Amino acid sequence: MKEEIVIAGFGGQGVLSMGKILAYAGLMNDLEVTWMPSYGPEQRGGTANVTVILSDKPISSPVLDAYDTAVVLNQQSLDKFESKVKPGGTLLYDPSGIHRLPERTDITVVPVDAVAATVELKNAKTYNMVLLGALLKHRPVVPIDAVLRGLKKTLPERHHHLIPLNEEAINKGMSIA
Amino acid sequence: MKGNEAIAHAAIRYGFDGYFGYPITPQSEVLETLEAEMPWETTGMVVLQAESEVAAINMVYGGAAAGKAVMTSSSSPGVSLKQEGISYIAAAELPALIVNVMRGGPGLGTIQPSQADYFQATKGGGHGDYHLIVLSPATVQEMADFVGLGMDLAFKYRTPAMILADGIVGQMMEKIVLPPFRPRRTDEEVRRQCPWAATGRHGRDHRNVITSLEMDSPKMEENNLRFQRTYAEIEANEVRFQEYFTDDAEYLIVAFGSVARICLKAIEDAREKGCKIGMLRPITLWPFPKKEIERLSAQVKGILTVELNAGQMIEDVRLAAHDAVPVFHFGRMGGVIPNPNEITDALLSHFPDAKA
C-alpha cells in the first residue's frame, strides 16, 4: 500500500495541520510516513501545500511530481495540481474557493462544500477536518480511530476537549462527499 | 517529527553540555525545540541564543576548549559568518559540532533548500589548511543519529565535525526512533577524556593553553603536519556511504542528502522499466568515498551527479573516477527542488543508451 497525497490551499486554511494529522494517523497505523511542507512566509494568505506519503514500505523521495490524491482549496492550487494527479487518481476540491471547474475526466473528481459544512457545525475551524473526512471516504488509507489517535498526538492537551468536535467534522465530511 | 526537531532532541539525549545558536530559516526549530524542552532543568545542558552567529561559534570555541560537548547550528549565510571561528577551532584541535541546514545562496539568497555549501563545508570554508568531518543526512533519523556520530568523531580526532543538511530534511517530518539517554560527562570524566582541556591545573605541573596562534614558523609547520596526519587517519578510517542497486548497474547516480532520496525514486521508477541505474550516496562528504567511486567507475558506462547547486561534488566524483567514464552534472539552484522525472530525463539526455 502506498498513497501519495498533496494538500494545497491558502495559508491559514489548515493545510499543513491537516497533513500533519493524516501523517500521525499513518504513524499510529504502523505505516511509514513523510510530511514535506512548502515552507516560507505563507502562514496566512499565501499559498501553502504539503506532500504526505503513507506507505507500508520505506519511502524514498518526499518530493513528487505525480500524486494519487490531491486536495485543492483554491484556484492557484487547482491550476497547479490538477494535471499532476495520476490517471485513475482522486481530486477533491472546495467549490467555494474556485471559479474554474476541474476538467480531467480520467480521475475521480469530488467537490466538497466544506465551508457550508462548517456553518452547520457552527465552527469555521473544523474546515480541514471536514476535508479530511471527505478524503478518507474516497481514499480510506487510515481508519478513523487512527486519525483520532493522531489528533491526540498533535493537539496540545488543553485542546483535547475539542477532539469530539473534530470527530463530528470528519463524519460530516464523510457524509457530504 | 521534523529533522530540525530531531537534532535538538538528539543533542539532549547524547549528553551535550551546550548549544549556542542564532535563529535563521530553515533551521530555527533547532533552537526553538531546545528552548521548549528546557534541558537545563533536566540534564543541565546550556541552551543559549547568542547575539549573533559570530558570538555563538566563539562560545562553542570556549566550551570546546574546556572539553565540553558543544554545538551550534545555522543556515548558509549564518554558517559563512562562523567560518573564522571554525578555522580557529580546527587549528586549536578542538571537538565541536556545527550544523548547517543549507538554503539557496549566494548572499541572503532564499530560505528554500539548497546544497550550494558543499565546497565551503568540504574544502575548508575558513582560512588555512584544515578539514571538517562532514556528515550528510538524508532522513530525519540520520539527522538525530549524526548528532551522536558527529560528536563521537569530533572527540575521537579532536577536530570539528559538521552535519551538512538542507531545508528539505530540516523541514520534513518522518518517523524516528530517538537515541537512548546518554548522561552528560562529569567534570572528572571530562578531565580524564580530555587531558588537553583548559579545566584548571589539578596538580599538573603545566597549564593547558588553548590557542591557534604559533608565531614560530617551524613549530606552526609541525602543527600543520600533525593536522594532516589526523586528516589522513580520518580518510583511512571514517569513509561512510550507501549503495543502491549497484550490483548490476550500468549507469551510476551520485547524490547526497535529501536529493539522493529524490534520485532513488527516479531509479525505482526507471528500474520498473528495466533501466539498470544504481546510486552511490556519500554519507561522509569529507572524507569522500573515492575508492568506491573508482571501483564503480570501472563497472558502469557513465555517471550523473545530482546536486542542488551548479556542480560542486562533481569535481570530487571526477577526481575519483579518473576519467574512466563520462561524468555529467544535473542540478537545480536557488531553492528549486527537482522532481524524480527531471532526474531521469537528465540521465537519459546524457546517456540515451540507459533506456531499456
Task: Name A7's Cβ contacts closer than 8 Å, sequence gap at least 6.
Answer: A15, A18, A19, A22, A49, A50, A52, A70, A71, A73, A131
pLDDT tens by residue, B128-162: 999 999 999 999 999 999 999 999 999 999 999 99
User: How would you class B352 by CB atoms within 10 Å of its CB: exposed for 0-12, middle for 13-18, buried for 19 or more?
Assistant: exposed
Q: What's the pLDDT tens digit per position in A79-119?
A: 999 999 999 999 999 999 899 999 999 999 999 999 999 99
Residue type, B345: D
**What is this model's ipTM?**
0.89
CATH of domain A2-176: 3.40.920.10
Main-chain dihedrals φ then ψ at residue B196, nearest 5 degrees: -85, -10
Longest CA–CA separation in chain B, Å = 72
Hey, are the CB atoms on B25 and A64 less than 8 Å from each other?
no
Nearest chain A residue to B169 by CA: give it.
A36
B242 CA: distance to closest CA in chain A (Å): 14
Distance CA A53, CA A64 (A): 10
* Of A103-107, A151-155, B240-244, the least confident: A151-155
Could you tell me the residue ranges of all domains in chain A? 2-176
Q: Is B25 on the interface with A (CB under 8 A)?
A: yes
Q: Compute the distance between CA of residue B132 and CA of residue B79 in angstroms, rounded to an integer.
A: 13
Domains in chain B with CATH codes:
3-171 (3.40.50.970), 241-354 (3.40.50.920)
Dist CA B86 CA B70 (whole Å): 13
Indicate if the pLDDT at residue B356 is higher than 60.
yes
What is the percentage of chain B residues whose pLDDT exceeds 70?
Answer: 100
In this prediction, residue A42 carries a pLDDT of 57
Judge whether residue A46 has pLDDT over 90: no
Contact A64 B340 (CB under 8 A): yes
Distances (CA, A) of A57 to A3, A18, A28, A60, A70: 11, 22, 15, 9, 21
* Nearest-by-CA chain A residue for B2: A35
pTM (two decimals):
0.94
What is the per-residue pLDDT for A45? 63
B318: phi then psi, degrees, rounded to nearest 5? -65, -40
CA distance B241 to B230: 21
Strand, helix or coil for residue B122: helix
Q: Residue B276's pLDDT is what? A: 96
Q: Looking at residues A22-34, what average pLDDT do you find?
A: 95
Q: How confident is the model at residue A41 (pLDDT cuts 50, 70, 90)?
A: low
pLDDT in tens, B183-229: 999 999 999 999 999 999 888 889 999 999 999 999 999 999 999 99
Quote the minimal CA–CA distance from B193 to chain A in Å: 39
Residues A9, A16, B344: CA angle, nearest 5 degrees: 80
Among B5, B101, B114, B175, the residue to mutate for chain A (most A Cβ within 10 A)? B175
Q: Is B265 on the interface with A (CB under 8 A)?
A: yes
State whether residue A60 sits within 8 Å of chain B by CB: yes
Pair B227, B130: CB distance under 8 Å? yes
| Beta strands B173-174 and A32-37, pairing class | antiparallel
Please name the residue that has the C-alpha cell 539557496.
B104
Instruction: Label residue A130 exposed, middle or buried (CB < 10 Å: 0-12, 13-18, 19+).
Output: buried
The nearest alpha carbon in chain A to B141 belongs to A34
Interface of B with A in 62-121 (CB under 8 A): 111-112
